Structure 1
Amino acid sequence: MSLRGMDSGWGLVRKPAKRRARTAARAPGRSRNEEPGDGGADEAVAFIAEQSAALRQLAERHKLPVLHYLLGMTQLEADEHLRLRTKRKLS
């Protein structure tokens, strides 16, 4: 819900967020869709696995069975992806 442009008298009008300037030069070996400082696919998958586990617990606590199931599948998929990536790196 955006309150920008609406004066409700409560001081809830927010300024637009400042955008971070992009650098023209990329680090060698970095793909185009990775931002500087981004940990790459492995870090993203690890983050997704961690957050989906926390969200799954929240869904269970509030008796949301479909969300609980879907978040469990997301967590399993992310864990499997990490396991396979680690296995390939060791070979």
Structure 2
Amino acid sequence: MLLLGPWIRVGVLVTKPKKRKRAASGARGGSRHEEPGEGGADEAVAFIAEQTGALRKLAERHKLDVLHYLLGMTKLEADEHLRLRTKRKLS
């Protein structure tokens, strides 16, 4: 359960990103902005899409129209990023 303050709880499952093994040469793989033990950009975007979906539902339930709209746009952007990233990997 994700706590967003003493009064707001969002029931979502949050898991730790899996650690990656280092390359045989000892050099770190992946993005240079990525810290050891963190997931890559795709995992971050997937997490953002999932969390904004839950937050958007919360905003809608409480009739927070502007937040609902902005979180919807954020989710669309994250989903589009994942879709394009998957499309590039397939080609």
Which one has a bigger Cα radius of gyration? 1
What are the Cα deviations for residues 54-80 of structure 1, in whole angstroms up to 9, with x where unaligned?
000000000000000000000000000
Shift of 1:27: 4.6
Q: Secondary structure at the match of 1:47?
A: helix
Q: What is the percentage of aligned positions where both structures have the same residue?
A: 85
Unaligned runs of 5+ in 2: 1-25
Amino acid at match of 2:58: L
Q: How does the TM-score come out when normalised to structure 1?
A: 0.67
d(CA) in 2 for partners of 1:70, 1:85: 23
Shift of 1:35: 1.3
Which structure has more strand as a fraction of its residues?
2
Unaligned runs of 5+ in 1: 1-25
Number of equivalenced pairs: 66
Q: Does 1:38 align with 2:38?
A: yes
d(CA) in 2 for partners of 1:86, 1:72: 21
Two-structure CA RMSD over aligned residues (Å): 1.4
What are the Cα deviations for residues 18-44 of structure 1, in whole angstroms up to 9, with x where unaligned?
xxxxxxxx7522333211111110000
Q: How does the TM-score come out when normalised to structure 2?
A: 0.67
